[in-house]
A and B are shown apart, each in its own frame.
Chain A
Amino acid sequence: MLAPILDALLDDESLSLRGERARVHAESGSLDGLFDYAIVSALRGQHDEAARALRRARRMAPTHVRTAPVSVLAAWRAGDASRARAALPPRPPPELRAMVALAELDLEDAAVEEALEGDGPLVAYVMARFALARGDASAALDALDALTPTGLLSCLVERARGEARLKNGDVTGARDALSVAVWQVTVLDAPDELGRAYLAMAEVEARDLDAEGRPRDRAAEWLARAHALLTPHGHAHDQARLRRLFRRFGRRAIDRLVGGDLESRIEGVRTTRAKARDRRVALEEARERGQDPSALERDLAETFDELAEAEEALVTALEGVLVDRDRMGRLVQAARRLYGLEGVAEIDATLPRLALELDGGAGAALVEPRELGSTVRATDVRGWRIVASFGDEQEATLDTIATDLEEVLRSGQARLAGEEEHRSAIVPVSTAQRELVLVVHRPTKRTPLGGEEVERLSVLASVAVVVYERARAADALREAAERDAAILETIRDGILALDEHRRVRSINRAAAALLGASRDELLGRVLDDRSGLAALADAAEREADDEPVTLPRIELLVRARRHPGGTVLMLRELASAQQLAQRLVGGAARFAFEDLVGDDVAFRRVIADARRAASSDVPVLITGESGTGKELLAQAIHHGSPRAKEPFVGLNVAAIPRELLESELFGYEAGAFTGARARGHAGKFELAGRGTLLLDEIGDMPFDMQAKMLRVLQERVVQRLGGTRDLPIRARIVATTHRDLEKAVDDGLFRLDLYYRLRVVHLKLPPLRERRGDIPRLVDRHLAIYCERSGRAPVRVSSAVMRELSSYDWPGNIRELANLVEGAASLLPYDVDVIEELPAFVRTRSTLGGAAPRAPSSAPPAPSFAGDQGAVRTLEAIERDVFAHALSVFDGNVAAAAKALGVARGTFYAKIQRYGLR
């Protein structure tokens, strides 16, 4: 099964013709055709084709006897020694072992030699190669001369002969042998082998030095030709050999060719052509004149020779350009790889490697001056820190060039340093943030680093600076983006950033959730294009300011802010915004009907009416003395209504200055009046949304405001002050007052039409003195609330005290009762759980204490400075009593009470809040 391989190796027929035949055979489904095609492809350097054919053959016959030999051949020709060895069958014939040996001989510093039996030409050739590998050129030549090979083996033999002759110093003989090799290989049409012959030719020509001791230009020409063939057709060892030759001599010759020489050669061809033309004309003219043309003919023949030489020189120069293009290609490739890097650390780590690959050398390092005071590391060298390195001997090299490094850093100019036998190229790579220096060193006297290398490294460094800057900017942007994203995600509100085309550029999860889509679905999309979001796009366009926007599945409160690059939208669910608003205005509906304690018949009737009213949307008017629980009842109505989950927003009409009342109720647009908030303000009607709006103390509403209120309630729309848009009112209205509204209507202080509109359902809460039977339960309940809130053990009142409380008139009603029992409990020592007596002021006000019952509006007794049995009371307790007293005296009228006490109304409200007086 080895015979077809050896035949193919010795066949003089063109490999391309043989390959074409085998391919046709293989495509007809022939297994032999596939193996033959694999063989010929391998011999032609078409390694992929060979591998494909082998795979197909294996699929057809997995254990075919031809597989192993052809695999070994293919691996040898592909330069894969390990694959060749792995493919060897058991007890391999010497020819197959010879192929493995040939693959291994291609390895760097190969010293493989093994005894091979057999006398075939392939084995003999391998033995000659062994001799050559161990440096015995004469023995190699003897072995080769004994061979009379044909086919591709003949090419291999001639190449080996050329190499052996060169080793013996026979340059001419080497040229002749290689010429034969090339002659034969071009007959066979094996491009990879032709490339190897050219490469050997380059080595021969490199021995032929010019007057300056430099390789002649021809070396570069052969190198360029070898490069052109081996780049597509050669294997890894060929590439390594190419690189080695380029390093040795290629660049010098190429530089001479390319640096201006090309132009002079083109000119040389032109001039010689013109000369030939002139001489031909002269010859023709001489003939026409019948003169002796021999001298002119000689001249013309000489010109012909000159022209041929000039053309050859030009071709050689052009080949040099190709090689130079390859070198430039490597620089471009390195630059591209640099451009492909993103992180600063990645660039640090890669730059030395790219620098080293550019022109070769022993090692490369990226260094920076060590910062003063920084920790000295083991790899630091004389004030320099190695950021990244590749290759060998970094520290030793840096130690010798530390002064040059400083000079490069100081001047910003690249330079060469060190002696010729160990030269370093030093190039600055400083960016705005970092001072870096790139060092490449090459310890060889034969091809020391020169100006061209420095120049190329400088180009690479310039690219690196740009890439560093870009990476730093990208890092900064990324950090900023991550920070912004993190900030955005901490915001509970939805944030949506649009560009000037209303394309979504940034969106947090909250916004995505509100809009019912994932972030990925929205990012990059134009808002208008997204179904159902057109209203949001409009809100962005008009720069909505806390405006309700209705989307198909949700109502949002939208605030839009325009900036030069687009618009940022802040989104909140309207309902949650309203809930937040009600928390801020203190009007949360915390109480339900269950919290309204009492068995009094009149009271229970009111509660029953309220329960019924709760289920409808009609306005409710709640009247009753101060402290009877009007607001609690309003909350309970809200809580018991279908609007329970919607906002409950309250507004104490009496507590708001008259001039602010309108804006509080209806809101205002930006710039509606002097002192208005720059961004406008939503009114209570807007905030209440679909919930309940409590208009507390409606009886104190200024008369002119009543007309506006009436219109709003009739038309069910509201306009912000300064605004033009109608905002629909969906809230249910509950109004309370301690005043007698009928009397106020009679007195002309309250509009009758508004009264009727508010009083669709009228609930009148009885005063506490009219439901004394409920007092014990109320006392117990408020004590329990206090104890739970303050974290102390349950407290109760003695029966004597309860009797005392039950007989009291309670002008402040339940609120007064709650405050009193809370005050009494708070004065109780922690180890006592029964209130045995009431504070003095209570006793003095209670009927048991001797005071006469009084009308609700009559002035209560003044608070006492002294505690029980003359004990000193805290200022806080006294202050609390003083404010409670004033409130009671003026029947809950804060303005009057504040005026009487000589404090600002705001201060009074603060005290009410602080002491829980309402």
Chain B
Amino acid sequence: MNVLNSVELVLVTVPEPDVAVRFYVERLGFRCVDSDPDAATLQLGALQLVLQRGPVPDTGGSPRIHIRVPRATLEAVWSEDRRASPGVAGPRLVAGAIFEYETRDPAGNLVRLKTPVAAPPTRER
């Protein structure tokens, strides 16, 4: 049995999978590997995200989806959110020197994007 190093498959229920697919592909950089009217399978690195038609689950305000994304992706999402809502809070620095930024997919699922603070450059080039 292979040792699990990371979670590679996440299933999210959304009322309209095709709308959600656009968000995850265009905004977060996923690639669509399979789709049908009720479900789509997206891939980002090793992570597979399955968007399945269904009601949005109630998570009690906590994000259910945590995705590690490149810094540029996070910045682009934040930038888009700012356009829509100028006062939106930026990425927050948390323990482990990781930026976290929360956004919502078109279905209203709370998605937490994470990106590490870039490693400090060396003193001499």
Chain A interface residues (CB < 8 Å from chain B): 16, 19-20, 23, 46, 49, 175-176, 178-180, 182-183, 186, 189, 191, 194, 201, 218, 221, 225, 228-229, 232-233, 273, 276-277, 280-281, 283, 293, 297-298, 300-301, 303-305, 307-308, 311-313, 315-316
Contact = CB atoms under 8 A, between A and B. Distances in A.
B112 to A, nearest CB: 9
A117 to B, nearest CB: 33
A16 B92 contact: no
Contact of B121 (A16, A182, A316): A16
B96 A228 contact: no
Contacts of A229: 120
Contact of A189 (B90, B121, B124): B121
Contacts of B56: none
B120 A191 contact: yes
Given A179-B92, A183-B99, A276-B7, 16 more contacts: A46-B123, A46-B124, A179-B91, A182-B99, A183-B93, A191-B120, A194-B117, A228-B120, A232-B123, A276-B4, A277-B4, A280-B4, A280-B9, A301-B65, A307-B7, A315-B95
Contacts of B84: none
Interface in B1-22: 1, 3-5, 7, 9-11
A898 B120 CA distance: 110
Nearest to A191: B120
A189 B118 CA distance: 9
Contact of A194 (B10, B94, B120): B120
A175 B92 contact: yes
Given A186-B117, A186-B118, A176 B96 contact: no
Contacts of B90: 176, 179-180, 183
B92 A176 contact: yes
Chain B, interface SS category: loop
B53 interface: no
B7 A300 contact: yes
Contact of B93 (A201, A304, A313): A201
B57 to A, nearest CB: 8
A225 B97 contact: yes
A608 B124 CA distance: 98
B95 A178 contact: no
A844 B120 CA distance: 125
27 contacts: A175-B92, A179-B90, A179-B91, A180-B90, A182-B99, A182-B117, A183-B90, A183-B91, A186-B118, A189-B121, A191-B123, A221-B95, A221-B96, A233-B123, A276-B4, A277-B4, A280-B4, A280-B7, A280-B9, A283-B9, A293-B11, A298-B57, A304-B7, A311-B96, A312-B95, A313-B95, A315-B95
A186 B120 CA distance: 8
Closest 9 CB pairs between A and B? Answer: A277-B4, A179-B93, A312-B96, A191-B120, A315-B96, A186-B118, A304-B7, A179-B92, A218-B95
Contacts of A232: 123
Given A175-B93, A179-B91, A276-B4, A312 B98 contact: yes
Contacts of A315: 95-96
Nearest to B63: A305
Contacts of A49: 124
B125 interface: yes
A504 to B, nearest CB: 49
B95 A20 contact: no
Contacts of B91: 179, 183
A312 B5 CA distance: 16
A298 B62 CA distance: 13
Contact of B66 (A183, A191, A305): A305
Contacts of B64: 301
Contacts of A46: 123-124
Nearest to A221: B95
Interface string B30-63: 0000000000000000000000000001000000
B89 interface: yes
Contacts of A183: 90-91, 93, 99
A191 B92 contact: no
A20 B124 CA distance: 11
A19 B117 contact: no
Contacts of B124: 46, 49
